[in-house]
């Protein structure tokens, strides 16, 4: 076994209370584009034109058309072996929390239950007037922008945009879970967007081991206890499969 994986396996198998933090990389093998890198969304689209409150105020239809096209990709996407391995971990461990920056809903689709969607969900829409939130799985949405059935206000995606503050209660839940855990596993995130970018260091400061899985080096690589270079859909099942077989022995 390669050294990084061996260490990661040792840490995953000896942990009882695990927090997993995921980014767009975990869904890349499901065909959902990441944000940064060669094929990243932000290389072809300007986030200031599409993912800010100002952009939505200026042209809600344009912003919705972009989100509608992303929802179409997500609706056809299936969870990959990385998502399922995380679900298996949740079943095996005494305590488990998943923090995801992803808005695609694939962790739920894979059966993971204790999920904090720190950036919200593309399957929820929120009224800009009365703030009513509802689930919406229509693809495409017939009328853009959709209107609130309670007050007639314009509905927006219930995701966190650039320039917006993540609800404090959500951040508190993440920090509490990290404080209680005995391992933080960080998967498929570039580690450049706060507050998640600092969560590895927060865990380290509380002397929790941190394992990272990514196809490339991130700002945290080298600071963590193990960094495994590889695709999450290939590495995660290896870690969890070994763990499952160990429990059977």
Q: Is 34 one of the binding residues for ligand OAD (CB under 6 A)?
A: yes
Nearest to 181 by CA among 94, 88, 91, 244: 94
Q: Is 25 one of the binding residues for ligand OAD (CB under 6 A)?
A: yes
- In the complex, the smallest distance separating the C-beta of residue 34 from ligand OAD, rounded to whole angstroms, is 3
Where b means 16+ CB within 10 Å and e means fewer, 197-233 reads bebbebbbeeebbbbbbbeeebebeeebbbbbeebbb
Nearest to 118 by CA among 134, 107, 109: 107
CA distances from 106 to 61, 76, 122, 138, 173 (A): 26, 11, 11, 16, 20
Q: Which of residues 207 and 216 has its CB atom nearest to ligand OAD in the complex?
A: 216
Stretch that binds ligand OAD, among 6-14, 61-69, 220-228, 231-239 (CB under 6 A): 231-239
Q: How would DSSP label each residue in 41-59?
A: HHHHS-HHHHSSHHHHHH-
Question: What is the Cα Rg of the chain in Å?
Answer: 19
What is the length of the chain? 249
Nearest to 215 by CA among 236, 198, 197: 236
Do 214 and 223 form a contact (C-beta atoms < 8 A)?
A: no
Q: Is 81 one of the binding residues for ligand OAD (CB under 6 A)?
A: no
Q: Is 27 one of the binding residues for ligand OAD (CB under 6 A)?
A: no
Q: Which of residues 17 and 36 has its CB atom nearest to ligand OAD in the complex?
A: 36
Q: Is 24 one of the binding residues for ligand OAD (CB under 6 A)?
A: yes
Q: Is 218 one of the binding residues for ligand OAD (CB under 6 A)?
A: yes
Active site residue 83: no
Do 117 and 103 form a contact (C-beta atoms < 8 A)?
A: yes
Taking CB under 6 A as the rule, which mask of x and - marks residues 162-191 in contact with ligand OAD? --------------------------xxx-
User: Binder to ligand OAD among 7, 12, 23, 200 (CB under 6 A)?
Assistant: 23
Q: Is 87 one of the binding residues for ligand OAD (CB under 6 A)?
A: no
Nearest to 147 by CA among 160, 134, 159: 134
Q: Is 64 one of the binding residues for ligand OAD (CB under 6 A)?
A: no
- In the complex, the smallest distance separating the C-beta of residue 144 from ligand OAD, rounded to whole angstroms, is 20
State the CB neighbour count (10 A cutoff) for residue 72.
Answer: 12
User: Binder to ligand OAD among 158, 227, 232, 242 (CB under 6 A)?
Assistant: 232
Taking CB under 6 A as the rule, which mask of x and - marks residues 38-57 in contact with ligand OAD? --x----------x------
Q: Which of residues 106-165 bind ligand OAD (CB under 6 A)?
A: 119, 160
Size of the site for ligand OAD (CB under 6 A): 26
Q: Which residues in this chain contact ligand OAD in the complex, by CB under 6 A?
A: 23-25, 28-29, 34-37, 40, 51, 101, 119, 160, 188-190, 193, 213-216, 218, 231-233
Catalytic residues: 119
């Amino acid at each position: 076994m390669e050294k990084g994986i061996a260490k990661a396996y040792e840490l995953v198998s000896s942990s009882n209370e695990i927090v997993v933090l995921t980014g767009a990389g975990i869904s890349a093998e499901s065909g959902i584009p990441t944000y940064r890198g060669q094929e990243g969304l932000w290389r072809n689209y300007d986030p200031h034109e599409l993912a800010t409150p100002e952009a939505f105020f200026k042209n809600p239809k344009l912003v919705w058309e972009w989100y509608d096209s992303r929802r179409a990709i997500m609706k056809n996407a299936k969870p990959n072996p990385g998502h399922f391995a995380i679900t298996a971990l949740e079943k095996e461990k005494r305590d488990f929390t998943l923090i995801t920056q992803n808005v695609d809903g694939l962790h739920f689709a894979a059966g993971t239950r204790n999920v904090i969607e720190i950036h919200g969900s593309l399957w929820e829409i929120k009224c800009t007037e009365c703030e009513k939130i509802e689930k919406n799985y229509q693809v495409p949405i017939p009328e853009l922008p959709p209107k609130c059935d309670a007050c007639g206000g314009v509905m927006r995606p219930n995701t966190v945009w650039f320039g917006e503050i993540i609800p404090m209660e959500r951040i508190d839940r993440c920090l509490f879970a990290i404080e209680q855990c005995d391992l933080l596993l960080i998967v498929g995130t570039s580690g450049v967007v706060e507050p998640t970018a600092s969560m590895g260091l927060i865990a380290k400061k509380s002397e929790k081991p941190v394992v990272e899985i990514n196809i490339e080096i991130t700002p945290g690589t080298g600071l963590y206890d193990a960094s495994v270079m590889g695709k999450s859909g290939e590495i995660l099942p290896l870690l969890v499969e070994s763990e499952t077989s160990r429990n059977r022995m």
